[in-house]
């Protein structure tokens, strides 16, 4: 990034750094070549006059945001084709500066509609629809959730009833609550849609299945008969996306429109069920690992913005007559921001781990080995919840740490927040996700109690809980990991004991589960937290880190571990695992780590390597020229295009009596 | 509220309640007469066709929001005058349904500009400006913060230099960072402004003083020479408000425009300083107490919405084939919502206490007794921070608890959030506020150590810390209060000890303060938390509560106390105050309290007595008809006014090849 025009405060911060930013940036992305490639692709987008000339999204109405989003998305797709880029990650690099935290109306077309045809369609279906979809003649989305139904798919009400006489399915929305509601790309963009509906044939229900439905005319985009479709109205964010509703009035579609790769309905209405229902787990793991990475990226960007700004912003003389210090020198600011910086690193590493493990496990599955899937599936569910909670809350802390200016869209932070926080809900509501993880942990616990050996990362479950922490003043990484293992093991056991005692007290299984679910949440959270700590500790042993970088990252990792304990201290103390004295060590260490990290804080956020166009923030600029940028942002606001706003003539002027007022009241001498 | 058309789920909830909702509603507002009066005034607004015909703010552009905000504000003012309402609280009742969580562009005119003239102006100045301001001929605001300067007033850069030759002040913005930035009402609305600027006369600086400046012409609203003014651009929320920037290029204003009630500059330039600078504390306390109440109200409304919706929403069969339960029956949902419900009650009661105490203390001050002010000032600063943090985070939890629909503006929750969360920043940044409280606590601690008796509520400071909790399975209120006192006393002492040891280690006072500030934050937070618990316990002893209501409120109060301990458990355990066994009691009690509160949950939010128009939420409706409301909201979205959006012609149609596509692909038989 250009060193020109960098404010003295930021230049000094960078010169103070004790490690090589490039070394860490390469490590985080996975090597020098990839970093170079990322920058190369990002720069193509950054230099492109098409993106440069776009109006700032912050000054667009929702309709303009949608228009711009669609226009950019189509342009991006064309460019990717021209460049011959098919790799998802490479496409993301190119797209990131062009549509940072803007949700493309085509996300579901590329991310769900096409992959679903590809994975769930027969060869004939793929031939019929894939090419047209890839060339954007067919634009489609994936419609699952309904007005009254979310995460629980079996509760869906839309029906698809087979009529053997005409060899058609009759799609119907029998109730208000059965209307499809929320799918992106649905309201105005899509002409087709994959619809999840309850399959009925020969008078029997066979649960949810997928159907291809054309919803708008290919001739003129008009809505086809039997269909009602529209947008669901404005949201917290996602202005670029036409999230929609959709309902069917006994709409008939050909039998061939059911996606029949795994289940089939024969012409006579005979239902053939799929061979292995668990294969769908793979793509869920993939999506959830990408949510972990999205959340981590949002938090990392928020840290870049707030930490750079905190190095530029000066506030309140420390002593009468003294210079106003950089607010990053306040211990309280470090206390709020540095643990989040550590979290951002930890979550990025966790996302990377889950993605890489997914690739390995997928290879094994192709070879017929499904053994590692349950552990990874459980981890990815919990981590999705853990990371989106942590990141969303953290982004808001970063925003508030920027004071008043954090509240302006100029800071870029509100946009990051409204983009990341729905990750707590979509693709599996977070509480449900945590309880899925807990269910797996309970299985592991009962296996451990039966003396079975547990796989990989869950081996800590069922360990002896009668021990004390090895924590000393030095705060060794090993003692941190041991503490998190102990806490997770204890909370898993406590949840299992609670379940058991409720069942022994006469509760039914599902009542006992509900009556233990708060403790199950605690256990699942502790499990995910442990994973993040352990994975962080493992990751920074990498040989590609120079010794200077490794030293800095060790501090960041320690802070992640120490702060996490202090924030959840009761869970580590309830059984006497930590003594009060050891807690004192941790508190002292945390404050000492703030001082260790302080000189490298700006370099640590630089190493995330986000160009200014990705951050989209006046406060987070690499050059630190925040005040000029804020002023320019203000000047560019459409309301400033006229000196006198129309409201004056409508509302204010009628109140003014020219007889009693005059400009001479002040400017007698003008 | 109308019982017509209430969903069976909500009707059943209400019939199950064990206490009289009216009794609690009267208690919370301060008596039956006041409740009646509130409803009377609210209903006038609710019935008024002027408000009914307004477009939903969620579908307005920022400019439309501003226009609507100004128009409504002027209308409200006219109506209040017609009704002869001058009491602030009564005006608020009327205004609340009309502009719920919409920030009037005139808020600063009425809330700061007029009161400042009134309190800081000489009799002549008041005569000159007050009447014109009250009739909205002069519209003004209060400009203090600058692009580079916030909470720290002495850091302001705008200058007002007296020129005895012309008997004028020269107002100047010497730097980019000196531009006024953020004041509401400034960008487009105001024609006058009270400006805080550094006073220079006879070559000497006298610190910040206030000046009346006309910024736009009374004839045509054009910007006057020497002035640059405009809006600062879009924000997270506050769309109705034209927050602006303002700068001066050596603007000359008459000497008489300095507000001279307390300090004066004579014609020859002689400066006369004010007699008592501390009198300004009173209005700060008042503003901060109102922020506590605002935060509490936002959280309470979020609880109404999420708890009513959780009683309507059904999700995931508890056992195969079972009915989908109301999500309020899930322990995890109770765990997230019920403690927030308890917080909402606690914060409302805290806001009430501070306001009432302010009135008392103000009386005493009028009688010359300033003794109680420091304690109240410190409490109000900390509570402002404590309440805005708690409420903002809680509102987001409520929103996320509503699943996907919480993310729609239809839920009303995003609007409440963006309205409440800036309270963490304005009127004193929260960290700064907490440290103000901590400074007072440190003074108290040192007084206590010198054997002096402390006033009222801070008497716990310096108490003997060598004791254990009296907590038993019953979880007595007294033991809860004692626990919070012990924790606060311990954290105050720990912060004082840290300060002391840093100073003994050779640090300067301000370095020691900064090096202890994390622990000072902890101490201040514990102090505020203790206040909220103790005040809650005291409040529910009121005779006006029926015994049934008191029983329910005792459970809510216990939950507030128990949950707060479990969330901050380490701070209660580090010194062995609680045993692990006692923590077990608290955990068990928390789960038991969820079951106690569950039957009354809907009644407890009904008792906040917010009409639907105040909530502005499809999910929080009194009648529970949430799905119809969501569908109606969607249908009313402007993008649904046309079947085919213009983007189709611009972006999608050009991609479609009519030769390769046809509607016959699906509807062969249409």
DSSP characters over A295-359? HHHHHHHHHHHHHHHHHH-B-S-SSTTPPPPBGGGSHHHHHHHHHHHHHHHHHHHHHHHHHHHHH
Pairwise CB contact (< 8 Å): B177 & A627: yes
Half-sphere exposure at residue A634, Cβ-oriented, CA atoms within 13 angstroms: 27
Taking each helix axis from N to C end, the angle separating A8-16 and A281-312, rounded to the nearest 10 degrees, works out to 120
Of residues B238, B414, B634, nearest to A245 (C-beta)? B634
**Cα(B205)–Cα(A187) distance, integer angstroms:** 62
- Specify the pLDDT at position B668: 43
- Specify the pLDDT at position B455: 86
On whether the CB atoms of residues B177 and B185 are closer than 8 A, the answer is no
- Specify the pLDDT at position A274: 84
- Write the CB contacts of A448 (distance below 8 Å, at least 6 apart in sequence): A454, A461, A462
Q: Which of B169, B501, B652, B659 should be substituted to probe chain A, the one whose Cβ sees the most A Cβ atoms within 10 Å?
A: B652
- Specify the pLDDT at position A280: 62
- Specify the pLDDT at position B12: 98
Interface of A with B in 122-151 (CB under 8 A): 128, 132, 135-139, 145, 147-151
**Cα(A202)–Cα(B393) distance, integer angstroms:** 52
3-state secondary structure of B245: strand
What confidence category does residue A371 fall into, taking pLDDT thresholds of 50, 70 and 90?
Answer: confident
Of residues B516, B634, B645, nearest to A232 (C-beta)? B634
On whether the CB atoms of residues A429 and A386 are closer than 8 A, the answer is no
Q: Which residues of B85-94 are buried (b: 16+ CB within 10 A; e: fewer)?
A: beeeebbebb
Interface of A with B in 541-600 (CB under 8 A): 566, 568-576, 580, 583-584, 590-591
Of residues B63, B213, B409, nearest to A234 (C-beta)? B409
**Cα(B217)–Cα(B224) distance, integer angstroms:** 6
- Specify the pLDDT at position B27: 98
Q: Which of A137, A392, A570 should be substituted to probe chain B, the one whose Cβ sees the most B Cβ atoms within 10 Å?
A: A570
- Specify the pLDDT at position B369: 81
ipTM of the complex: 0.97
Pairwise CB contact (< 8 Å): B315 & A667: no
Token code pair at residue B655: 């991609």
**Cα(B138)–Cα(A647) distance, integer angstroms:** 15
Instruction: Give me the sheet containing A180-181, strands edge to edge.
Output: A180-181, A244-248, A227-231
Residue B246 φ/ψ, nearest 5 degrees: -160, 130
- Residues A309-327 have pLDDT tens digits of 999 999 888 788 888 899 9
Pairwise CB contact (< 8 Å): A424 & B400: yes
**Cα(B225)–Cα(A632) distance, integer angstroms:** 21
On whether the CB atoms of residues A192 and A212 are closer than 8 A, the answer is yes
Of residues A219, A631, A650, nearest to B663 (C-beta)? A219
**Total residues found in chain B within this entry:** 670
E strands in B523-648: none
- Specify the pLDDT at position A364: 86
Q: Which residues of B touch A640 (CB under 8 A)?
A: 187, 230-231
Q: Which residues of B504-532 are buried (b: 16+ CB within 10 A; e: fewer)?
A: eeebeeeebbbbbbbbbbbbbbbbbbbbb
pTM over 0.90: yes
Half-sphere exposure at residue A385, Cβ-oriented, CA atoms within 13 angstroms: 25
Of residues B166, B317, B591, nearest to A518 (C-beta)? B591
Answer whether B287 touches A (CB < 8 Å): no
Residue B212 φ/ψ, nearest 5 degrees: -85, 125
Split chain B (670 residues) into runs of 10 and give each run's mean pLDDT: 87 98 98 98 98 91 95 97 94 96 94 94 96 95 95 91 97 98 97 97 96 96 97 96 98 96 95 75 84 98 98 88 92 98 98 93 82 90 98 98 98 98 95 97 97 92 95 97 98 98 96 97 98 98 95 98 97 95 97 98 98 98 98 97 96 90 58
3-state secondary structure of A46: helix
What confidence category does residue A372 fall into, taking pLDDT thresholds of 50, 70 and 90?
Answer: confident
Cα A608 to chain centroid distance, Å, stands at: 17
> Distances in Å between the alpha carbon of A349 and those of A252, A293, B267?
49, 9, 68
3-state secondary structure of A254: strand
CA-based Rg of chain B, rounded to a whole angstrom? 28
* CA-closest candidate to residue B644, choices A219, A146, A178, A69: A219
- Specify the pLDDT at position A213: 97
Token code pair at residue A413: 């932070």
Pairwise CB contact (< 8 Å): B651 & A627: no
The shortest C-alpha distance from B29 to chain A (Å) reads 32
Q: Which of A574, A585, A587 should be substituted to probe chain B, the one whose Cβ sees the most B Cβ atoms within 10 Å?
A: A574
- Residues A401-438 have pLDDT tens digits of 999 999 999 999 999 999 999 999 999 999 999 999 99
- Specify the pLDDT at position B670: 36
**Cα(A171)–Cα(A77) distance, integer angstroms:** 33
Q: What is the average pLDDT score of chain A?
A: 95
Q: Which residues of A touch B569 (CB under 8 A)?
A: 569-571, 573-574
Pairwise CB contact (< 8 Å): B648 & A188: yes
- Specify the pLDDT at position B1: 67
- Residues A576-599 have pLDDT tens digits of 999 999 999 999 999 999 999 999
Is B427 known to be catalytic?
A: yes
- Specify the pLDDT at position A670: 35
On whether the CB atoms of residues A526 and A493 are closer than 8 A, the answer is no
Pairwise CB contact (< 8 Å): A658 & B67: no
Mean pLDDT of A97-110: 94
| Max CA pair span of chain A | 96
- Specify the pLDDT at position B669: 39
On whether the CB atoms of residues A326 and A246 are closer than 8 A, the answer is no
Mean pLDDT of A147-170: 94
On whether the CB atoms of residues B70 and A646 are closer than 8 A, the answer is no
Q: Where are the alpha helices (DSSP H) in B412-504?
A: 413-420, 430-449, 477-504
E strands in A140-289: 140-143, 159-163, 168-172, 180-181, 192-201, 204-214, 227-231, 244-248, 251-254, 264-265, 271-272
CB count within 10 Å of CB B660 equals 11
Answer whether A631 touches B (CB < 8 Å): yes
**Cα(A395)–Cα(B329) distance, integer angstroms:** 31
* CA-closest candidate to residue A192, choices A117, A102, A80, A280: A117
- Specify the pLDDT at position B519: 98
**Cα(A538)–Cα(A108) distance, integer angstroms:** 35
- Specify the pLDDT at position A658: 84
Mean pLDDT of A337-364: 95
């Amino acid at each position: 990034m250009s060193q020109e025009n960098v404010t003295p405060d930021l230049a000094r911060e960078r010169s103070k750094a004790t490690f090589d930013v490039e070394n860490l940036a390469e490590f985080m992305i996975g090597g020098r070549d990839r970093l170079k490639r990322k920058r190369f692709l990002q720069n193509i987008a950054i230099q492109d006059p098409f993106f440069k000339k776009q109006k700032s999204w912050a000054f667009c109405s929702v309709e303009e945001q949608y228009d711009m989003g669609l226009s950019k998305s189509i342009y991006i797709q064309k460019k990717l084709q021209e460049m011959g880029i098919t790799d998802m990650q490479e496409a993301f690099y190119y797209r990131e500066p062009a549509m940072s935290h803007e949700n493309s109306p085509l996300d579901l077309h590329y991310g769900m509609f096409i992959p679903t045809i590809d994975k769930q369609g027969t060869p004939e279906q793929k031939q019929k629809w894939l090419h047209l979809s890839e060339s954007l003649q067919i634009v489609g989305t994936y419609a699952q959730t309904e007005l009254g139904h979310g995460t629980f798919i079996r509760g869906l009400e839309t029906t698809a009833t087979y009529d053997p006489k005409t060899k058609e399915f009759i799609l119907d929305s029998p109730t208000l609550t059965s209307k499809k509601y929320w799918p992106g790309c649905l309201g105005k963009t899509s002409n087709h849609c994959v619809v999840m509906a309850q399959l009925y044939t020969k008078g029997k229900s066979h649960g949810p299945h997928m159907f291809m439905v054309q919803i708008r005319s290919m001739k003129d985009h008009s809505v086809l008969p039997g269909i009602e479709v529209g947008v669901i109205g404005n949201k917290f964010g996602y202005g670029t996306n036409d999230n929609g509703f959709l309902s069917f009035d006994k709409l008939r579609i050909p039998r061939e429109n059911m996606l029949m790769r795994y289940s089939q309905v024969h012409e006579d209405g005979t239902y053939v069920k799929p061979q292995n229902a668990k294969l769908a787990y793979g793509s869920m793991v993939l999506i959830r690992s990408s949510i972990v990475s999205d959340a981590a990226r949002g938090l990392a960007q928020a840290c870049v913005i707030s930490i750079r700004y905190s190095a530029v912003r000066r506030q309140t003389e420390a002593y009468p007559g003294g210079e106003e210090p950089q607010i990053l020198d306040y211990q309280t600011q470090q206390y709020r921001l540095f643990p989040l910086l550590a979290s951002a690193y930890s979550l990025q590493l966790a996302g990377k781990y889950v993605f890489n493990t997914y690739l390995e496990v997928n290879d094994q599955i192709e070879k017929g080995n499904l053994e590692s899937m349950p552990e990874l599936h459980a981890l990815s569910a919990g981590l999705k919840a853990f990371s989106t909670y942590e990141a969303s809350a953290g982004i808001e802390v970063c925003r508030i740490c920027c004071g008043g200016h954090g509240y302006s869209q100029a800071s870029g932070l509100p946009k990051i927040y409204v983009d990341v926080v729905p990750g707590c809900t979509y693709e599996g509501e977070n509480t449900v996700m945590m309880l899925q993880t807990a269910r797996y942990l309970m299985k592991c616990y009962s296996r451990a109690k039966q003396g079975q050996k547990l796989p990989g990362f869950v081996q800590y479950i069922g360990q002896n809980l009668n021990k004390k922490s090895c924590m000393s003043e030095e705060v060794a990484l090993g003692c941190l990991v041991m503490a998190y293992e102990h806490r997770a093991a204890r909370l898993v056991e406590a949840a299992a004991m609670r379940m058991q005692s409720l069942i022994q007290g006469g509760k039914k299984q599902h009542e006992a589960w509900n009556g233990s679910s708060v403790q199950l949440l605690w256990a699942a959270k502790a499990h995910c937290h442990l994973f993040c700590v352990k994975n962080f500790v493992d990751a920074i042993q990498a040989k590609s880190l120079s010794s200077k970088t490794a030293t800095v990252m060790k501090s960041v990792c320690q802070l992640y571990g120490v702060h996490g304990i202090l924030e959840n201290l009761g869970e580590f103390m309830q059984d006497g695992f930590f003594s009060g004295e050891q807690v004192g060590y941790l508190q002292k260490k945390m404050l000492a780590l703030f001082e260790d990290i302080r000189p490298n804080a700006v370099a640590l956020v630089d190493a995330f390597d986000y160009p200014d166009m990705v951050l989209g923030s006046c406060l987070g600029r690499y050059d630190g020229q925040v005040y000029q940028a804020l002023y320019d942002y203000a000047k560019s606001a459409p309301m400033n295009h006229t000196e006198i706003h129309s409201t004056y003539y409508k509302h204010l002027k009628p109140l003014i009596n020219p007889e009693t007022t005059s400009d001479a009241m002040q400017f007698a001498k003008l």
